[in-house]
Amino acid sequence: MALDNKDVADIAHLARLAVEPQDLDHYSAELTRILDLVEQMSAVDTAGVEPMAHPLHVAQRLRPDQADEPNRRERFQRIAPLTEDGLYLVPKVIE
């Protein structure tokens, strides 16, 4: 599976990563090489094999829907790049 520069630009957009146009060739070559490695999987017959999502095949634990952690908003917001009045600040989204 070879990826071209347009594929890489699309993937980078989905992943919200800025990629400079001059780096696209490099990324498409590297990602293609990794996908060539991954391609070995296609030779394996997996008809009827159940996908394995958890090594120990256990189900997700449930707990009562009650808040049990203290509210530590001030502590957590102290490490934010930009806040004001307890809110996170980002560039204007709606004009």
Residue 67 within binding range of other proteins, rule CB under 8 A: no
Q: How many CB atoms sit inside 10 A of residue 8's CB?
A: 21
**Pairwise CA distance, residues 60 & 54, whole Å:** 10
The answer to whether residue 55 forms part of the interface with other proteins (CB under 8 A) is yes
- The answer to whether the beta carbons of residues 86 and 77 sit under 8 Å apart is yes
- Kindly write down the DSSP assignment for every residue of 55-72, as one continuous string: TT-PPPP---S---S---
Q: How remote is the C-alpha of 5 from its chain's centroid?
A: 20
Please tell me whether residue 53 binds other proteins under the rule CB under 8 A: yes
Closer by beta carbon to other proteins, 22 or else 46: 46
CB of 77 to other proteins, least distance (A): 8
24 binds other proteins (CB under 8 A): no
88: β partners: 83
Chain residues that interact with other proteins, rule: CB under 8 A: 3, 7-8, 11-12, 14-19, 27, 30-31, 33-35, 37-42, 44, 46, 49-56, 58, 60-61, 63, 72, 75-76, 78-82, 88, 90-93
